[in-house]
Amino acid sequence: MSKSKTDKLASSKPIYHYASSSHQILSSVAPIYYKGQYRLYFLQSVLEQSDSKTEYCLIQSNDLIHWITNAPGLSFKSNESLAGCIVHDHKNTCGLGTATKSPLVTIYGEQIKGKQVWSMSFSLDGGKNWQVYPQSIGLDIKKSKLCDPFIFWHPESGRWIMVISLINEFKIQIHTSKNLIKWEFSSDFGGHPSFKKEWTRVTIIPLSVVNQQDVKKWVLIVTTGDDYPGARYFVGVFNGKAFMCDHALDLVNPVDFGKDLFAPRVFSNAPEHRQIMVAAITNESYKDHLPTLSWKSMISIPRELSLAKNTDGSFTLLQQPIAELKKLRSKSLEFAKSPMSQEVEWELALSESMEFELLLDSHKICTLEFDFGNKAKLLLIWDPVKHQLSLDRTSKALSFHPSYPSIESAKTTSGHLLPLHIFLDNHSIEIFADKGKCSLTSLYFPPNSLQRFRIIGKHFAASGTIHTLGLPAEQV
C-alpha cells in the first residue's frame, strides 16, 4: 500500500462509529446501562509503544450515538488482564453497599505471579472510584486460562448467574451465587465433537419472538476464535441452572456472516427490556496490520436483538440497527421503484457516511457496486436462485493483508424480494438483509471516498431511500 494512501487513511477516522484516537481497542467489552447512561468499558493498549500498557477505557452515552470518554477508575495489577463483566447489584446482595448506595461490581481475571486468578472490585460512587475486594470470591474453575465471564441477575431463581467459557474444551460452565462472592457450579454446555475452534467470550440473554406473542427463548452467543464465523449462537431454554439447546449442536448459526464483527456483547439493564448488542469491528488475523495511524479498531453500531420463528419450527436471530441512529440523517432522497432494468444508478451526492434502505425485486443475480475509484470496489451480490447474499472484497486495490481478500456469503429466504439496510462509514460497512435475518460486517480501506454507487443485473427493479449521515454538533 502506497505511503500517500496510508497518510490519507491515517487522517480519516470513522465519522459516526466510536474509534479511539490514541489507543487500540481490544476485543473485550463490558457494556452496562446505569442511571440513564449507556456505559461501555473495554480494554485498550497505547499505540506506537513497544511496551504497551493494557488499561480500561470508559465511554458513556445518553443515546448510543454521542460518546464521551471518561476516566474508568479501574486499573489492574497485571498487563494480562481481562475486561470481565460489570453489574449493578441493585439489591446489595454482596453486602458491600450502604442503605442508600447500591454498588457496581466487576469480576475479572488477572495474571498474578504466573497464575490466573479471579478478582473483584466494587464502586459506591457510580464508578468514579473502585475498591478491590480483598478476599477470594470463592470461584475456582481449575483452568490455567481464563475468559471474560458474563454475569446477570436471574429474578426467577433469585440468584446471580455467571457463564464462563472453557477455551479448549469448547464448552461453557454455569455458576450461581446469592451474593456475587460465593459461587457454586451448576452445569455445563457444549463439548460436541463438531466444535473445533476456541470458545472465548460468552453471552446468554432472553429474547422475544417477534412472530409469537408473549414467547421468549434464551440465546447463547459464543465468540469462537480467530476466523469466520467470529461468533455463533444457540437457541434454547434456560431454567436458572442449565441451558438446554433446541437444535442440533453441529448446526452453525453465525451471529454475523462477515469477517470483522468480533466479540459481541449486550448491554445489561437496558431500559424497556431492550437487548442491545455492540461488538468490535476488527479481526484477530490482521488487527495489527490495519493501514491507519490514528486508530486501529472501532465499535459497531448498536443492534437491537430479537428472534423469529421459522416455518420449520427453528428460530433465527434478528438484528436491527437501533432507531436512535435516525438522528444521524442530515439529508434523505427517496427513489420510487425503477422499471425492470439491467442497471440502476440514481442521481445523488455521495459521501463517506451513508445509509441505504433498499428493496430489490429480481429473479436473477444482481449486484450492488460500491466504487471508490482506482479499481477499488466492494460488491454485494444477491442470487435469488441460490438464496444467497455475498460480500465480495477481493479487489486488489482494497487489500492490505493476505488474510483480507474474501467473499463471505449468507443464506436468504426464498422469493424475488430482498430488503437491504446498509450503513457505510469511513472504513466500515454493516449490512442487514432479509429484515434482519442476516448481517455482514466488514472493514475496508479504499484510496478515496465513495465515487459511484449503482445496481447492475439482468432483469431487476429497485426502490428505496438513501440518507447522508453526519454526527450532530453535540458530539464531544
Which segments of 141-300 are extended strands (E)?
150-154, 159-166, 171-177, 184-190, 202-208, 216-223, 231-238, 243-245, 261-266, 276-281, 298-299
- Structure confidence at residue 34 as a pLDDT band (50, 70, 90): very high
d(CA 15, CA 191): 42
The single-letter code of the amino acid at 79 is: N
Using DSSP's 3-state secondary structure scheme, residue 193 falls into: coil
- Using CA atoms, how far apart are residues 309 and 307, in angstroms rounded to an integer? 7
**Lowest model confidence (mean pLDDT) among 40-49, 349-358, 402-411:** 40-49
**pLDDT one-digit tens code per residue, 235-283:** 999 999 999 999 999 999 999 999 999 889 999 999 999 999 999 898 8
d(CA 313, CA 247): 10
Q: What is the mean pLDDT of residues 206-220?
A: 95
**CA pair distance 87, 57, nearest whole angstrom:** 16
Tell me: the pLDDT tens digits for 333-387? 999 999 999 999 999 999 999 999 999 999 999 999 999 999 999 999 999 999 9
DSSP state of 247: S
Q: Single out the residue of 381, 353, 350, 383 nearest to residue 368, CA to CA.
A: 381
Q: Cell 438464496 identifies what position?
A: 387
**Can you give the pLDDT at residue 229?**
54
Distances in Å between the Cα of 220 and the Cα atoms of 85, 96, 201, 431 are 16, 30, 11, 22
**Over residues 211-230, mean pLDDT:** 84
Non-local CB neighbours of 431 within 8 Å, separated by 6+ positions: 258, 380, 389, 391, 420, 421, 422, 423, 439, 440, 441
- Is the pLDDT at 476 greater than 50? The verdict is no
CA distance 439 to 419: 12
Please report, as a single letter, which amino acid is at residue 365. Answer: I
Closest CA to 467 of 349, 376, 386: 349
- pTM, two decimal places: 0.93
Q: Contact at 8 Å (CB) between 466 and 332? A: yes
